[in-house]
Chains A and B, each alone.
Chain A
Amino acid sequence: MKSSSPKLDILFLCVALAMLFLAGDSPVIRTAFLSLSGIVLEALPFMLIGAIAGGLIEEYLPESAVTKLRYAKTKAIMIAALAGLVLPVCECAVIPVLYRLLRKGIPPEAALAYMLAGPVVNPVVFTSTLVAYQFNPVVPVLRVIAGYVIAVSVAIIVSRILKGKIVRDDISNPSPCEIKGNKKEPRIIRASRHAAEDILKAGKYFVMGALFAGLLQSAFGRNALLSIASNPVLAIAGMMVLAFLLSICADGDAFVAASFGKAFFPLSSQLAFMLFGPMLDIKLLLMYKIVFPWKTILVLIPCITVTVFLASLLLHLLIGAVL
């Protein structure tokens, strides 16, 4: 994994430490760090498991097995978007697994579809959404179907725009010495070393993203959105912005969406919040850098934004009155 500029890392480290030691009494800073600790404690174990799974993939999954999975592009995308049903991981754990799968030669567009759909189209998120909406099955069913359609559409659009050049060069063409490693060591040791290296690099982006999310959550009052709640177009857009800023895990975001209340915010805007957040937020934006070049990220951002917005608006127009 390539790293970001060390100067930026040093700057981030200095600012974070200054906030911790010098501005620790500020309610903004303390609330931000409380959010950061919640995010990290919840997601880091998943990331560790994801990285260990990635290490095992690197060492034990033969490339021939990946080659067998190479279906036609669209078919691969449609199948990969359903992989969350059997591999239900949250959006943070998906990145280390994807990194190693991509190095093994899994089609990038299929990986993209899994990355986008996995955190939404999975049984854990379905159940938590069901509980958050007091066992009304309409909301989780709509969330899963819309999430699948959006992920497949975005993956197809992005692969068409970028003509297959989706992932970083160092992943699609890893250097031979990087692949071979130290062959004298047992495979299991090499697998754990891959995992250790991956987490050390991915963890940095994760902590940075979590702190930014915590700061924005502290700086931004949710009741500011009340003024736009009556207009469905603005409500959908506002809730998408909020999902981006808050960086809430897909497993718990339904409870936050439900707290906005049907009386204030249309259900379509709450769905927009639950569809957009697991695909794009501050923490993910930084973590995407691990597998994608900036060019791909710059194409992904508008594609996800426009597709989620249009899907939510369509849901509002089709079934808004019923919901």
Chain B
Amino acid sequence: MKRFRSVPMMLAATVYLCWFAAFLWLLCDGRYMMYLSRRLWPLLLLGCISCATLVIGILSSNKIATKENESREDLLNAAIMLIPILYFLLYQGDTLGSFALERRVVSMVESIECSDLASSAGDTLQTDIYILLNNYPSVFGRQVVLEGALNTSSSQPVLYRFLIVCCLNDAIPKAIFFESNCIDTLENDVWLRLEGTVDSLHINGIVYPFIRNTAVTVLPKPGSPYMYP
């Protein structure tokens, strides 16, 4: 039997084929972690399967052609649906930076409500900003190694990283103040490794976490700059 596939249906098949390829590429490459939480990879798999199902359904269909104006509308719909894929292709290494940090913070560094902090002992701890802030009392006084990006827009330099809970739209900046004399020449968003002691900083009676006596190393921007809970 000869099949007549309508223009809108062929456009739809093209869109789903493109999205199938995009989901697969982002998943296989691990690139999805630049936009989504690490644990949400099954979503992309689900997207691949759904798109493949729809393409197979369309190609097996024999719906007759529709009106010309419907085709025009569907062409526009298809083009709009492909905008995000165009972005993935054009700006592959793009990440949230200082601009997003300044837009998304309520206060640059979250204050702490701890009193009577006792110094803890132990070897140098390699950690990330999110874990450090969540376990601040237990790492107080300890030597730590942290990596993140630099921001110098507040009175004290901060090291920050974004925490992706679900996707980039809900990514929350996590930042910590640190002291250093050798960052004057560095620009915002330069990636740094800090080695220093976890301490506290008092500003206008409010206590903030702080890294004291910091040794700073400039690093290249990592492939996965985000933190995940």
Q: A-side interface residues toward B, CB under 8 Å?
A: 3, 6, 9-10, 12-13, 16-17, 20-21, 24, 27-28, 30-31, 33-42, 44-46, 48-49, 52, 128, 131-132, 181-182, 184-185, 188-193, 195-197, 199-201, 203-204, 207-208, 210-211, 213-214, 217-223, 225-226, 246-249, 251-253, 255-256, 259-261, 263-265
Contact = CB atoms under 8 A, between A and B. Distances in A.
A-B pairs with the 7 shortest C-beta distances? A192-B57, A38-B168, A38-B167, A252-B166, A48-B50, A27-B99, A45-B47
A221 B62 contact: no
B91 A49 contact: no
Nearest to A194: B57
Interface residues of B, number: 72
B100 A36 contact: no
A58 B163 CA distance: 41
Q: In this complex, which of B15, B60, B169 has the most chain A Cβ atoms within 10 angstroms of its Cβ?
A: B169
A255 B164 CA distance: 10
Interface of B: 8-9, 11-13, 15-16, 19, 23, 26, 32, 35-36, 40, 43-44, 46-47, 50-51, 53-54, 56-58, 60-64, 72-74, 76-81, 83-84, 86-88, 90-91, 94-97, 99-100, 102-107, 110-111, 113, 163-172, 229
A3 B84 contact: no
B71 to A, nearest CB: 11
Nearest to A254: B165
A20 B170 CA distance: 22
A39 B167 CA distance: 7
10 contacts: A20-B83, A20-B86, A28-B99, A31-B100, A33-B91, A34-B94, A38-B36, A193-B57, A223-B107, A255-B172
B25 to A, nearest CB: 12
A290 B167 CA distance: 25
A304 B16 CA distance: 35
A49 B54 contact: no
Contacts of B95: 34
Contacts of A33: 87, 91, 94
